[in-house]
Structure 1
Amino acid sequence: MTLIKKANIAQLLVLSLAISSCAKEIKKVELTDAKLPKNVLPIVKPASKDSTQLSADYIATKKIKIENFYQKNWPNNTMNGSFLVAQNGQIIYEKYNGLANFRDKDTITSETPLHIASVSKVLTATVILKLINAKRLDLDQKVTTLLDRFPYPEVTVRTLLNHRSGIRNYSYFTDRKANIWDRHKTLTNQDLLDLMATKNIGLEFKTDSRFAYCNTNYAMLALIIEKVTKLSYIEAMDKMLFQPLGMTHSFVCDIKKDKKRIVPSYKASKVEIGIDYLDGVYGDKNIYSTPRDLLKFDLARNSKNFLEPELWAQVFKPYSNERKGTKNYGLGIRMINWETGQNFYFHNGWWHGNTSSYITLPEEKVVIIALSNKMTRNTYAVRKLAKLFGDYPFKLEDEE
C-alpha cells in the first residue's frame, strides 16, 4: 500500500469519526426532556412562526378593528404602555405609547421592559412544568421533600400550581397588624419559608379542599426551582427561558441591584409608586418583559413538543370548580370554560401601578399582550379582541 493511499484512508477514518461525533451531538441536542442527563437543564426551545402566512387583506381587516378598539379603550393615546396582537407568530398590530419615566421623559418603545406582575406566574409555572417533564420533579410530589422546614405536609407541587394549597397570602401575614415582620426590611422568598416554619402560620383551609388565589404559592415554586436546578431563580429563568428564546429584554428583578434599571410605576394620577418591603419576593411577580419577548415565549410554550401530551392536558384542566361557574384556574393559567365547550385562556397581573394581560388562544394560534406602568383597568379589556379570531362571547365597543 502506497503512502498516498494510507494517507487517504487515514483522512477517511478521521472524517468518519468526525461525522459520527457530530451525529452523536445532534442526537444529544434532540433528546427529550425525560432522557436528558441529570446534569443538563431542560430548556424551552424556540419555535418558528407558523408556515401559514396571513394574507395582506386579512391583516389589514383585523388591524382596522384592533385600531378602533385601541382608540376607544385608550382615547387620545392614554395607555402608557405596550400592546401587541399576533397570529401564527406574525404581528398584526402593536403600539407603544407614553412614558417609561415621567421625570426623565423616557418614552416606552418595543424594547422597554415593563413589570408583568402576575403574568410572571405563567413563566414560573412553565419552568416548573419543564422540570416535571424532565423527571426532575413530580407533579404530586410533597413540598416537604423539596424544601427544608416547609410546615404543611399535604401540600404538593400541583396544589401550589393550581392555588389549592391552603397557604396564606404573604402580603397579609406580614402586614403591620400581624407584627411578625419588620417592614423596614425587604422580605425574601427564604424569609417567607422561615416565617411559615417558625411563626405558627396555619393554613387558611385544608389543602386541596378548595381554590384560593395566593401569591405565596408561586414564591414557594420559585424556591423549588432553585432547589432542583441548584441555581438562583434569576439564573434559572435566564438559562431555561430568556437566553434560549432570545428574550433579550426580559429579566427577573433583583431589587437590591436593579433599582436604577427598572421602569417605575405610577398611579392613574401619574404619582410615582415607590418600592416597598414586598418587592424582593419573586416567582409570583418581579419579571420585566416586553410584548415581543412574550410573543417568543408564547410560540415556544404552545409548540408541539413543549410537554408530553398527558402533562400538557393537565395544564388546561380546570381545578377551581367546586361550584358551578365559568371561571377556573389550571396549572399556572387562568381560564373561562363556557357550557358551549369554548375555552378561553389568559392571565392578568397587577402590582403597584403595573397592570398586565396575557391572552393565549392555542386553537387560533393567537396571542394578545398588554402591559402598562400607569394604573388602569383598561389593560384587562383586551380580552374582548379574542372575538375577532374565534367564537368567544365578548362584546367589542362598536357592538355595545
Structure 2
Amino acid sequence: MNYWTRRDFIGGGAATLLSASVFANNPVADAFAAAQPFYGVVMLAKQGKPVYVRTFGMANIEENKAVRSDTPFAVGSISKWLTSATVLRLVEDGKLELDATIGKLLPWYRADGADKVTLRHLLSNASGIPNQFTPALRADPSIRDLPFTTRQAIERFCSGELIFTPGSRFDYVSTNWYIVIGIIEQITGVPYQQAMRAITLDPLKLPATRADRAYIEAPATAAAYATITPPARKMDIHQHYMVASGGYYSTADDLLRAASAIFNEGFLKRSAVEALTHIEVPSENYTLGGRVKTLNVNGQPHVFAWETGRTAGFRSVLGHRLDGEDTVIILNNTDMSQKTLDEFAYSLLGANNV
C-alpha cells in the first residue's frame, strides 16, 4: 500500500497543486483494502476536482513496481462509453444519425440486419446480431491472431441472421462494436483509433487514454492478475477491430477529466448528453455505451452515469453524478468481482443503490 506524493501530480510539464485533504486516509477505502487483496487506484472528486486519491498495491508484482497515480489500467467497457461520445460528436456534425440502419451506413453490409438494425441498436447492445466470434474462437483459438481488416472481421463474425427483433432484447456482445468501428471508419475515412484521437481524446486532453500495443506493453502500464499469491497473469490482447468494445487503457485523472467535460462542461451539446444518458434498455438501465443509476446519497436520490469495465484481470468503475457534484473512480488489476467493486464505489460515495 502506498500513498501519492507531490511528485505524482506532475505531468505534462506542469504541477497540479492539491490540498492536503487529498492525501488523507479514508476509512471506507482502508477497510476495503484490509479485508481483501486490493491493488489499484481510488479517486473521489467534487465538482470535477479530486478530494481524495489513494493508490494500493502493485502495478507489476514480478518487477516490484507499485501502483502510481499515473499508472494506466485497462478500462474495459468504459471504451464503449468513449466510443459513444465520439459517435455523438459525429451526429452533432451531421455525419451520422443514430437511427440510420447499418445498410445505409455500410453499403457493403449484406446481412439479415442491414435494413433493420440501427446505429442506436448497436450502441445499446440490442441489435439481435449474433456473436459469431466466440464460437469461432472456441473452435480455433488461433483465429484471434489472424490479421483481419475491420470489414473482414464484420463479415466473418457479425453477419449472421438476426436472433431477435432489434431493440426487443439486451444482448451484451462485443461484436456489435466491431460494426460501430466499421461505421466510424467508413464515415471518417481513417482508422478507428485515429478518429477517436482526433474527435474525442485529443480535444478532451486525454493523453493517457490509448489502445495501441506499444502503450499496453510499456513498463509503466499495469499488468493484470488472476491471483497475486502466487502471481498469475490474466491478460487479454484486443485486435484493432475489438478495441471499441473494451480495448482502451486510461488513468483516474483522464477519466475524471472526460466525465466532467462530457457531462458538465459542454464537450457535447445538451441534446447529445441527453441521448448519451437516455435509458434505451430499461431492464439493464443501459443507455448508449453505458448505464445510468439512481443512488441515494445522504438520503437524497441522485442520477449517476455508471460506467464499468471488465477485461481479463482488470476491473474499473467510473460513477459520475450527472450534475457534476460527485465522481468516484476505481481502477483494479486483481480480477475482483465487478459487483464487489460497484458496492465499494457505493460505500465511498455514502450511497445506496435504489
List per-residue Cα deviations over 1:105-138 (Å, max 9, x = no partner).
2222112111101111110111001111111101
Residues 268 and 188 from structure 1, CA distance in 2 versus in 1: closer, same or farther, beyond 3 angstroms? farther
Amino acid paired to 2:272: L
Aligned residue number for residue 178 of structure 2: 219
Higher Cα Rg: structure 1 or 2? 1
Matched ranges for 1:175-186 at <5 A: 175-177=137-139, 182-183=143-144, 185=146
Residues 182 and 314 from structure 1, CA distance in 2 versus in 1: closer, same or farther, beyond 3 angstroms? closer
Matched ranges for 1:1-400 at <5 A: 67-75=26-34, 78-147=37-106, 148-151=108-111, 152-153=113-114, 154-177=116-139, 182-183=143-144, 185=146, 189-196=150-157, 201-254=160-213, 257-258=214-215, 260-261=217-218, 262-269=221-228, 270-275=231-236, 281-321=242-282, 327-336=284-293, 342-377=302-337, 378-385=340-347, 387-388=349-350, 392-394=351-353
1:330 Cα offset (Å): 1.0
Amino acid paired to 1:368: V
In structure 1, list runs of 5 or more residues that go unmatched.
1-53, 396-400
Give the TM-score normalised by structure 2.
Answer: 0.81
Residues 352 and 146 from structure 1, CA distance in 2 versus in 1: closer, same or farther, beyond 3 angstroms? same
Residues 386 and 76 from structure 1, CA distance in 2 versus in 1: closer, same or farther, beyond 3 angstroms? closer
For 1:191 and 1:172, locate their aligned partners in 2 and report how far apart those are by CA, in whole Å. 16
Aligned residue number for residue 34 of structure 1: none
Find the residue that maps to 1:247 and give its secondary structure: coil
For 1:292 and 1:338, locate their aligned partners in 2 and report how far apart those are by CA, in whole Å. 23
For 2:271 and 2:118, locate their aligned partners in 1 and report how far apart those are by CA, in whole Å. 18
Amino acid paired to 1:347: E
8 Å CA contact 1:77–1:97 kept in 2: the answer is no
Amino acid paired to 1:95: R
| Alignment length (residue pairs) | 325
1:216 Cα offset (Å): 1.6
For 2:85 and 2:248, locate their aligned partners in 1 and report how far apart those are by CA, in whole Å. 14
8 Å CA contact 1:171–1:278 kept in 2: the answer is no
Amino acid paired to 2:65: D
8 Å CA contact 2:150–2:178 kept in 1: the answer is yes
For 2:133 and 2:54, locate their aligned partners in 1 and report how far apart those are by CA, in whole Å. 34
Amino acid paired to 1:367: T
Aligned residues: percent identity?
Answer: 23
List per-residue Cα deviations over 1:153-178 (Å, max 9, x = no partner).
2111111111111122355232324x
Find the residue that maps to 1:141 and give its secondary structure: coil
Greater strand fraction, Structure 1 or Structure 2: 2
1:67 Cα offset (Å): 1.0
Give the TM-score normalised by structure 1.
Answer: 0.72
For 1:191 and 1:71, locate their aligned partners in 2 and report how far apart those are by CA, in whole Å. 48
1:182 Cα offset (Å): 3.2
8 Å CA contact 1:176–1:183 kept in 2: the answer is no
For 1:222 and 1:250, locate their aligned partners in 2 and report how far apart those are by CA, in whole Å. 17
